[in-house]
Amino acid sequence: MRIDGVRRVAIAVAACGTLLAALSGCGAKGRAHSDPEPGAQAGKSSAGSRDPHHIPGVGARLQRRIPADSGQVVAVYGDGKDSADSTVVLYAKRGAAWQRVRSWPAHNGKRGWTTDHHSGDRRSPVGVFTLTDAGGVLKDPGAELPYTQDPAFAAPRWWAKSHWHDFDYVIAIDYNRVKGTPPNNPTRPEGEEKGGSIWLHMDHGSGTSGCVSMSKPAMAYLLRSLDPDRHPVVVMGDRADLMS
């Protein structure tokens, strides 16, 4: 089906803000990634080793929000409340224990994190959200989640060239959206003021308008790894809010 230019621009702008929002502010390009075990100290048990039944660095409040039937967690550890830098770690449950699978450097909202996200605040929402749908400009790389290939995902060419491939791969974060629909479905069940189109998508080297961005290899790995039968969720926020 032909996608007209107006629809393409509207979807791209809704996904990650206006041109000003997309280009203003930045994270630290090329930062070192030491690949630590985030929150290891906070996640230790009284015996002195990490409790394998809990996601490291995630406090009881958010830990309880991880569904009992979830077997995969994408944890996004923000460097700070107002930082655009973060680390993504994929955990998988083996029996009753959570095991770390892979980790990658990432970016989040240009202005950091918030527990009360609103449209245009350029902060990523803190919380636990399901991951049910994926898509992008590029063909399906072998995703387990339902994948919608659609040229309408493409960022408009009046954005900076560094942003043109942001939406080649996308995993929808189920914040203010209708589950079971393509990531670019514009419906906002909680209203437009609460924002939406919060995605995992490809990185352009700096902060986003609220999404979490990663390298193309990282996105491809997640797309091939996240299994709807294991009910994957994302647990995301700055380290302080994650532990609160």
What digits encode the pLDDT tens for the residues 150-187? 999 999 999 999 999 999 999 999 999 999 999 999 99
What's the Rg (C-alpha) of the chain? 17
149 in a structural domain = yes
Taking the CA atoms of residue 105, residue 111, residue 113 and residue 119 in that order, the dihedral angle to the nearest 10 degrees is -120
64-106: per-residue pLDDT in tens?
999 999 999 999 999 999 999 999 999 999 999 999 999 999 9
Cα–Cα distance for residue pair 219/211, rounded to 1 Å: 13
Report the number of distinct structural domains present in the chain. 1
pTM over 0.85: no
Cα–Cα distance for residue pair 170/167, rounded to 1 Å: 6
Residue 11 has pLDDT above 50, yes or no: no
Q: Mean per-residue pLDDT for 204-230?
A: 98
181-192: per-residue pLDDT in tens?
999 999 999 999
Cα–Cα distance for residue pair 7/31, rounded to 1 Å: 36
Q: Which domain holds residue 86?
A: 74-243
64 in a structural domain = no
What are the C-alpha distances in Å from 71 to residues 97, 152, 178? 10, 32, 22
